[in-house]
A and B are shown apart, each in its own frame.
Chain A
Amino acid sequence: MLTALALLPLLLSGCDDKGKRPVMRIGYMNCNNEQETTKRFTPLTRYLSEKLDVEFVMVPVDTHDFEKRFREGEFAFTHTNSLLYIILRENYRLELIASDKRGNFGSRTGGAIIARKGNGINKLSDIKGKRMVFGPMLAPTGYLAEYDLMLRSGIDPEKDLAYYAIPSGSYKHEKLVYGVLFGQYDVGAAPLLDLEVMTREGKITPDDFIILAQTPIIPYCTFGAAEKTDPKLVARFRKALLELKPSDTVEIDGERVKVLNAAWADGYEQLLDSDYNPIRDMARRVNMPPYQNY
């Protein structure tokens, strides 16, 4: 009894220490679904917690709910696509931390307007009157960049196509690529990164499609920090991301997991906010948030 009483303060102080570790939430935009986001970013979140001695909580967020939840102060840090970064930057002064590197173009990627080879569509002007499929509306290289490219090429998607569609549910980008491959649509707006990954995985071959036009390359997914987040912590967060190596691991359910591999990233890069200006220009031309005029 006496021993237990003697040890009690020690035990309580241990609990206090753990309790003192600050808890912060990182909002991760769902690319496809919550389950995938959780699997992808749990190791990275744990890595950041270990590095920064902060209890980070990984929160998967639906793209369309992101702005509202961020506005309500739910997240200290964000991981979103580059268009959502601009929306949060313009509306709530989100600070740029670092951008994901993945694929041939590093921290940037582009979009392409594709047609199945041999279906008689060989140049961009041939798509007039055809059936087209886009990715989700807030996708920078699956919707915005291609829509902008068409407008700049004198093709109005609202008037010059037979119709256009956006696939439902998750894995929209893959669905649209398959939709073009199997003839459901004549042309599609495909992110280059998805084409690159699907080719690498053997799902498609470069000979399946003809690239009718390609957009400029623009920044990819982006980490940001809320305006109120401690600048010193933001700097440490950035440093931890930039220092991540392919061999870095964390323990998840008793297994060592490679952090970058799980997060589908080759690494992280410190871009400048001005690197996102081409996306701002696209959003203005396409009349999309945060520059939308009604």
Chain B
Amino acid sequence: MFKDRFDRLLLILLAVAMSALAVLLGAHAPNGDNSRAPAGLNKALEQETAYQARVALLQKLYTPVETIQKSGDLQGALFRLDDLARTYPGEAHSYILKGEILHQLGAKEEAVASYVQGIKLSGDYIDRKSPLSRRAEIQRLTDEGVKEIGSRAKANPGNASLAIAMKNVNYLQSRLAGGCE
């Protein structure tokens, strides 16, 4: 294998170069051999912190609306929610809360449509483990929708608006069953 002295010399030089490279790489890594794990951990921590901050902000912003809602002044809660939705347009929490209030006020088709908009923006609301989860309430409305909107749509097959309402109910059903966007 090693035919002569030159071969052996080359081999020794290669070994020296490899060792030097290993030492250099080790010296410049942030925390030695375990550098990869903390970087990943930091990212997860950052995400978790951002999520907790979002949850805390939503609670702070929407607690006054929910307090009014719980007092029974549903329309008052809806007016204040409209105000918030103008300040934070496209916020999923507004759509979810609006769906809840509309459901309580008997506007089921509009409530379903509002839930659909909210869930399309954030799946947290149907995630059992999320602190934002409204899964039980969404499930309840979906069950009612299947029964009530479903029977109306079945009895009026040519009605385009009922077909859209039923499509929304089906979307909620699919997301609750674990389907993706």
Taking a contact as CB atoms under 8 Å apart, the answer to whether A271 and B75 are in contact is no
> Which chain A residues numbered 189 to 234 have a C-beta less than 8 Å away from chain B?
192, 195-196, 199-200, 206, 211, 214, 216-217
Task: Name, among A104, A105, A269, the residue most crowded by chain B CB atoms within 10 Å (CB to CB).
Answer: A104
Contacts A106-B110, A108-B107 given; does A206 touch B80 at CB 8 Å: yes
B83: shortest Cβ distance to chain A, in Å? Answer: 7
Chain A residue nearest to B79 in the complex (CB): A206
| Chain B residues positioned under 8 Å from A107 (CB to CB) | 161
Contact assessment for B110 and A269 in the assembled complex, using a CB-CB cutoff below 8 Å: no
Complex Cα gap A199–B77 (Å)? 13
Residue-wise, chain B 128-140 has the 8 Å CB interface mask toward A (1 for contact) of: 0000000000000
Please state if B161 and A192 are interface contacts (CB–CB under 8 Å): no
What are the residues of chain A within 8 A of B83 when measuring CB–CB? 199, 206
Q: Residue A271 contacts which of B79, B82, B105, B161 (CB distance < 8 angstroms)?
A: B161
Question: A272, B107: Cβ atoms under 8 Å?
Answer: no
For the complex, is B73 an interface residue (Cβ under 8 Å from A)?
yes
Q: Which residues of A contact B98 (CB under 8 A)?
A: 104
Indicate if B89 sits at the interface (CB-CB under 8 A): no
Is A124 located at the chain interface by the 8 A CB criterion?
no
**Closest beta carbon of chain A to B163's beta carbon, Å:** 9
Q: Tell yes or no: B159 within 8 A of A by CB.
A: yes
Chain A CB within 8 A of B160 CB: yes
Closest A residue to B86 by CB, please name it.
A200
Q: Whole-angstrom distance between the alpha carbons of A272 and B152 in the complex?
A: 9
Give the CA-CA distance A262 to B10 in the complex, in Å: 85
- Per-residue CB proximity of B119-163 to A under 8 Å, as 1/0? 000000000000000000000000000000000100010011110
Cβ contact within 8 Å between A270 and B109: no
- Residue numbers of B with Cβ under 8 A of A are 73-76, 78-80, 82-83, 86, 98, 102, 105-107, 109-110, 113, 152, 156, 159-162
The 4 closest A-B pairs by CB, nearest first: A206-B79, A270-B161, A269-B161, A106-B110
